[in-house]
Amino acid sequence: MRLVLASASPRRSELLERLNADFDIEVSNVDETSCDEPDARRYVIDIACKKALAVAERRKAEDVIVIGADTIVIAPDGERLGKPADRRDAKRMLGKLSGEWHVVHTGVALVCAGQSRNDTGVETTEVKFRDLDDSMIERYLDTGEYPDKAGAYAVQGYGAVLVEGIRGCYFNVMGFPLAKLADMLGRFGYRFF
């Protein structure tokens, strides 16, 4: 059975490639602001489901498993930090996370297009940032890696130097909790190796 990743995220593609998975990419074009769910964990599952279902509808005649995912960062004060609107917004987000623990939620949804089966899950990871001064934040923003990242940082890139500690799944912070994904796909009979 072939996988279809309903995401334009290069990080998610890279992680699936690391596992030597056979997959296609088909972007869902779902509006990530189209959900008003107040609970952050349900929010990411809802968006992940919308992404997977949108692509599954287009591929319903095929025997494929569509994977949808969505990641959000929750600041210590409870604010949801998605992708920053611009550099100023990114600076605000990083300042808010400086020296603090925050939470990263990733919702994953699988839809087996040919069989009308689905499964959902969410992974939560805690991340602690170092104390960041304005100079460090500006230097990080100068790298240009923040624009399409929840919370305005990439833990797998230059953003690694911002992080002091992680409790939970590192890959979740990248946007794809691989162990959870493997368990979910296993329930559909798909094995990576």
Contact 183, 153 (CB under 8 A): no
- What are all long-range contacts of 163-168, with beta carbons under 8 Å and residues at least 24 apart? 163/127, 163/128, 163/129, 163/130, 164/128, 164/129, 164/130, 165/127, 165/128, 166/125, 166/126, 166/127, 166/128, 167/125, 167/126, 167/127, 168/123, 168/124, 168/125, 168/126
Eight-state DSSP code of residue 106: E
- Among residues 22, 24, 39, 70, the one annotated as catalytic is 70
Percent of the chain that is helix, strand, coil (3-state, to 5): 35, 25, 40
User: Which residue in this structure is represented by tokens 């170092």?
Assistant: 130
Tokens of 93: 């987000």
Could you tell me where the beta strands, DSSP code E, fall in 20-116?
A: 23-25, 64-74, 80-81, 101-112
Concerning whether 36 is annotated as a catalytic residue, the answer is no
Radius of gyration of the chain (CA): 17
Instruction: Report the catalytic residues.
Output: 70
